[in-house]
A and B are shown apart, each in its own frame.
Chain A
């Protein structure tokens, strides 16, 4: 089953690259730099998906204490942090030629950075609590708090940056959304979502083996 999934991932990634570089036209306003959005936007969306899964897994774990829920939460958090890192880095790489600077405290970059640090904390709890069962409980609580915090972080950072300030920043992402751009985004989103599923599946299997090895 993982073999077919693996091949599906490769296929989807190739499709995404083809769409992103060959099918999608050059953006009129930003030039070819805009193509970075086909990595940046799907990455952040997959990261949100990952953290939503962490929330669900954490709640299931705390209410049922099923170890499979714990493993899924752990794996999803790891992959989610990876995608968040990719989001920030690709956003910065896009920002340098577009805004002239690697980092700005604009609403989206800042809230994603806070997201990154919150879930790094989740992974730190996993790493620093020796007793497996306690680590599972503690990180489940952190996973729930962090997920519930996401909308709060969003609004607070957005208001902090945009109210009483002239909108001088270009919003990251395609300004208009003609069909081709949207389609390319969707294909790349599907590809990265499949990568997420693939990596989480592998990580969960590995976690189960690690536990068995220790037993």
Chain B
């Protein structure tokens, strides 16, 4: 999997969680909680979806490391050894 594919996966899963918004058009550096009006349940569903899709179990203490699309992409790429 390439980093670009990871980024697309992140955007796709955010889109599933907030279908009323367009995750693909937000600033990759923006806090997704603000940009997509994501609450703690949405965020947990996002982390759960990433676990299912990529097999990466993000512990709670790492949650702050995935708060933007860019940071989430970097974090997941690192975990996948990219």
A and B pair up: no
Interface residues, chain A, with chain B CB atoms under 8 Å away = none
